[in-house]
Amino acid sequence: MMILPKFTDPNPSVEWLRKEQDRLHSQADKMIATTHIMDVFAKYGKLSAIGGSYQYGLMIYPDLNIGLVADIVTKKCFAMLVAGLASNPQVRGIQTADTINFNLSRHPRPKGYWVGLDIPSEGDRWGIDCWFQQPDWVESQEDEYTERLSVIDQAARDAILAIKYNLIFKGEYGKKYLSYDVYDAILDRGVRSLQDFK
């Protein structure tokens, strides 16, 4: 569940972007520890490590991505997971999707059940996205960006944070662009500035 912050500074410093990434990473760990939300997920299958921008050290808004795999996944089991999540007092909102029986999106989506959580914590509103799948529904355990983003230099990291920030500031993130558009521009086309990205 993508819950974007409202940014007000049109041109944040590189230092601020780096500090915000570090702050969000620490706050994510704190939110997980205080809500015990991952324990709820873990009752229903094998929980993956947190992926995406948390894993890459490229966070600019409070969002976490996880996967949950169980040998057999039914709609009833998914309903039980959702009920367990909804009963957590820290969960403000829940969205769900069934892409097994209803794969209606224009964009390819994984096969499984998706749940998105909205969890307010210490001034941030965290989104947690989880795909609940059986092993034969999981297309790839490998994240194509993990290895490539782990070796980029600081200039590339700063460019990613600045571009993501600017897209959120301008209201284009999630509508016109997503993180992988930024990563592809940095990794495949050598983009190092917002101007180059545009």
Q: Which residues contact 107 (CB under 8 A, 6 or more apart)?
A: none
140-161: average pLDDT: 86
The per-residue pLDDT for 102 is: 85
Last residue of a domain, one of 141, 166, 186: 141
7-31: average pLDDT: 97
Q: Is residue 1 part of a domain?
A: no
Q: For the chain, what is the mean pLDDT?
A: 93
The per-residue pLDDT for 140 is: 66
* Domain tally, the chain: 2
Three-state helix/strand/coil letters over 46-87:
EECCCEHHHHHCCCCCCEEEEEEECCCCCHHHHHHHHHHHHC
Considering the domain architecture, whether residues 56 and 78 belong to the same structural domain is answered as yes
Would you say residue 32 has pLDDT above 80?
Answer: yes
Considering the domain architecture, whether residues 120 and 159 belong to the same structural domain is answered as no
Residue tagged 């509508």 (tokens): 175
Considering the domain architecture, whether residues 104 and 186 belong to the same structural domain is answered as no
Considering the domain architecture, whether residues 98 and 161 belong to the same structural domain is answered as no
The per-residue pLDDT for 176 is: 92
Note whether 61 and 24 are within 8 A (CB). yes
Domain that holds residue 169: 144-198
Using CA of residue 9, residue 173, residue 114, residue 59, what is the dihedral sign? negative
50-78: average pLDDT: 95
Q: Tokens for 38? A: 């991952």
The per-residue pLDDT for 139 is: 79
CA distances from 80 to 73, 77, 96 (A): 11, 5, 13
